[in-house]
Amino acid sequence: MSPPPHVLPAGVFGALARGEGGAEGVRLLAAAERSKHLLLVRSVAESFRDDGQGGTRAAEAYALLADLCAAVPAAAEEVLSYPSVGLWALTTLRAMRSGDHDRIRPERLAALALTVAARAGTDLAATVRTEHGGLGFPSLGGLRLSGAGDRAPLKVRVRDGHLELDEGRWVRLVPGHLGWRPVRRLRLGPPGGLWEICLDDVDAYSFPPHPCPRFVLHPPEVQAWRRSLQESAEVLSARHPAAAEEVREVVRVLTPVLASGDSHASASAQAAFGSVAMSRPVGGTHTAVMLVHEAQHQKLNALMTMFDLVRPLPDDQNDQYYAPWRSDPRPFIGLFHGAYAHLGVTSFWRAEWLHGTGGVPAAALYARWRDVTLEAVDRSLGTGRFTRLGRSFAEEMLRVLDGWRDERVPADAREWALREARRHRAHYAARNR
């Protein structure tokens, strides 16, 4: 399970800096993220090498996993690239360093091996240990067992591509039995489906802890999500084909969260590449632009795993900046990320306006985000926080936005954009005195 070296061609780097990159660019970033997962998983096994019985169990489970990687590489790649695998491994390693015993979970190595076997249809048996009364099989589903406790040993096997639990007799894990809940997979797009996405309300590691609480989707809610996501897939395919390619490649998992009131929430995290936390989608265009926004974050997260784009903050330097899309001060990384995400948002509304679909509202949103994103990128370049490579990236962002600056929009759209920018700045100043 040794990952290969990775390179990113200069042309792809430049395209990513322009907010683009396409399917090719995203695939290269995703390949580097898969290698990161392999390194993290191997580090978990190696960290437990001298841990007595726990180390023996981890080594045995890792050996099973390594054998499967060699025997059924496609299934292994599908499972090991799942967002929760990287987050689980990283959480376990960090917990080991901090001494947080409750979050140290090497037991998932055995669950990973069983998941790969199930994906490949390969028979396998292993002993797994519960996590707070349940079991998690990344990308497949989760099991809740009444009275099982924590770290209780259970025998699980794979037969004919299905997980089975030993309860004195082998019982197949299917919906409605033994508290089993599968990860739902939706196929979206034209007939036959172009985009497969997982709705993961099962795996505790599908997304890091988030201010908005997670919740379990019931069947009627799943259908509502499916409808809105299908509408967004159609919007992207029809009017934003390049962005649609990127979204299909990079957004593989949605973790449902509850937003407060009538607001809507979405988030990405560097530790969970491919996963987006999202509140219930509310329509095609709104969800489409939200997905474009998060795809931008995902691309930059992966790029910043591969390259140092930002210099470390000196101890005596203030790291708080105004971001014209937030009401609170942001650290430099947050300002940079937000600017890159809004480069994608600006491009989306520009295409809506030029396509003639969104009319004056699309022109107004285009002007709104074009102007303030340009200002934010220009300001970030004056901070001295970028490395040489990061500066070239940000300068390419600036060139794109500057090239759009002279595009004329209707006067009322322009006036609205200026009014909103002033209103936001005044609200920020009043809130952060």
10-residue mean pLDDT profile of the chain (433 residues): values are 83 97 94 96 89 79 95 96 97 93 91 97 96 93 88 95 94 86 91 86 93 89 94 93 95 93 86 95 91 98 96 78 94 97 98 89 97 97 96 98 95 96 96 88
Q: Is 32 helix (H, G, I), strand (E, B) or coil?
A: helix
Q: Is 301 helix (H, G, I), strand (E, B) or coil?
A: helix
CA distance to 3, 6, 189, 365, 399, per residue, from 239 (Å): 37, 33, 13, 16, 24
Residues 22 and 156 in one domain: yes
Residue at which a domain ends, from 162, 182, 202: 182
Residues 266 and 340 in one domain: no
Residue 311 is predicted with a pLDDT of 93
The four Cα atoms 81, 272, 342, 365 give a dihedral, to 10 degrees, of: 90
Residues 169 and 234 in one domain: no
Q: What is the DSSP letter of 168?
A: S
Position 205 in a domain: yes
Residue 223 is predicted with a pLDDT of 93
Position 313 in a domain: no
Phi first, then psi: what are they for 129, rounded to 5°? Answer: -125, 140
User: What global pTM score does this model have?
Assistant: 0.94
Residues 225 and 360 in one domain: no
Residue 262 is predicted with a pLDDT of 64
Residues 29 and 164 in one domain: yes
Residues 224 and 280 in one domain: yes
CA distance 280 to 55: 42
Residues 100 and 197 in one domain: no
The enclosing H or E element of 128 equals: strand 124-129
β-pair partners for 197: 186
The region that residue 147 occupies, defined by phi over 0 for left and psi between -120 and 50 for alpha, beta otherwise, is left
> Would the CA dihedral through 8, 12, 17, 21 be positive or negative?
negative
Residue 80 is predicted with a pLDDT of 96
The enclosing H or E element of 156 equals: strand 153-159
Give the pairing type, strands 162-166 and 153-159.
antiparallel
CA distance 257 to 209: 11
The residue whose two tokens read 């699980």 is 156
CA distance 388 to 317: 20
Residues 39 and 80 in one domain: yes
Residue 282 is predicted with a pLDDT of 84
Position 287 in a domain: yes
CA distance 378 to 121: 53
CA distance 393 to 294: 19
β-pair partners for 157: 125, 164
Residue at which a domain ends, from 154, 182, 210: 182
Classify burial at 112, counting beta carbons within 10 Å of its beta carbon; exposed 0-12, middle 13-18, buried 19 or more: buried
Residues 251 and 361 in one domain: no
β-pair partners for 43: none
CA distance 322 to 424: 11
CA 227 to chain centre: 21
Domain range holding 331?
320-433
Residues 105 and 39 in one domain: yes
Position 152 in a domain: yes
Position 4 in a domain: no
Residue 5 is predicted with a pLDDT of 83
Number of domains in the chain: 3
Cβ–Cβ < 8 Å for 83, 69: no
Give the pairing type, strands 275-278 and 253-256.
parallel
Q: Is 422 helix (H, G, I), strand (E, B) or coil?
A: helix
Residue 116 is predicted with a pLDDT of 98
Residue at which a domain ends, from 148, 182, 216: 182
